[in-house]
Amino acid sequence: MREPQTTHPAWLPALRSILLRWERLRILYNLVLLGLVLLPTGGSFQLPSLSELPVLAVGAVLANLCYLAGPLADAYLSWLGLRSRWVTAGLFAGGLLISIPLVYMFGFSYALMMS
C-alpha cells in the first residue's frame, strides 16, 4: 500500500526563505533594543532590578509582536514581485527606526508610573 503523498503549495519555499531570513534578523533587532534598554543616555551600564523584569518582559513581547510586521510586509511585497534583499533591509531598518522611539516611550512611561 502506498503512502499518501503530500503536496506543498508552490509559494511555500519562498515564504520559508523569507521567514528564515527574518528570524536571523530578529537576533540583531533584539540585541539593538536590549542595548538601548541596558545603556541609558548617560552611557553607564546598569542592569535592571528584579521588580523591573516583568515590565521589561512585557516590552520585549510587544516589540517582537511589532517585529512580525516586517516578515508580513516582506512576504506581501515578494508576492507582488518585489523580491530583493534591499527590500528586506529597508523594511528592517524602517521597523527598527520605528521601534527605537517606542522602546524609549515605553521605558519613560514606566519610569513616570514608578515615581
Q: What is the pLDDT of residues 18-37, one digit of tens each?
A: 999 999 999 999 999 888 77
Domain edges within the chain = 15-39+51-114
- The per-residue pLDDT for 101 is 84
pLDDT on residue 40: 63
Reported confidence tier of residue 53, pLDDT bands at 50, 70, 90: confident
Residues 70/22, Cβ–Cβ less than 8 Å: yes
pLDDT beyond 80 at 73: yes
What is residue 34's predicted lDDT score, i.e. its pLDDT? 82
> How many angstroms separate the CA atoms of 107 and 20, rounded?
30
Query: Does residue 3 surpass a pLDDT of 80?
Result: no
Which residue from 93, 40, 41, 33 is spatially nearest to 59, judged by alpha carbons? 33
What the block records as the C-alpha cell of 29 is 533587532
